[in-house]
Amino acid sequence: MASLKKVPLPRGTGTVVLRSWIGDFFGSNNYQAGGNNVNAGDFGMSAMAFTEIMGHSFSGTYDLRLIPATNASNLNESMAAYFQTLTAKCYYSANSVEVANNTNLSAEAFRIHVRGL
């Protein structure tokens, strides 16, 4: 098996301490196909290292995907990038099709964990 290249997050001159945000993330009242931008500042951070989503929405009807808005890194880089922005996209759990335009998701919550700076 071929060796896999690993690209670490930068540490700077000292130890980087990642902040953690855990809570419920609610959808918008007027979802638009293509998703909504989520900024690191929404979680009190200047940049995000990674996110975790705990399963489906609490109702079980929807899935959430937090997609980086830019390319993270490539094999030629020595350090991976932190993210300023992610795109939050919602899908129907039953068939993995993106939620339709103008769907009200304001009562739908997803438990998420964000780590960053």
Write out pLDDT tens, residues 58-95.
999 999 999 987 666 666 666 777 899 999 999 999 99
Residue 113 is encoded by which pair of tokens?
């964990």
* pTM for the structure as a whole: 0.82
pLDDT in tens, 38-66: 999 999 999 998 899 998 999 999 999 99
Residue 28 is encoded by which pair of tokens?
């918008």
Mean pLDDT of 1-16: 66
Which residues have CB under 8 Å from 78's CB, separation 6+?
7
CA atoms of 97 and 115, how far apart (whole Å): 28
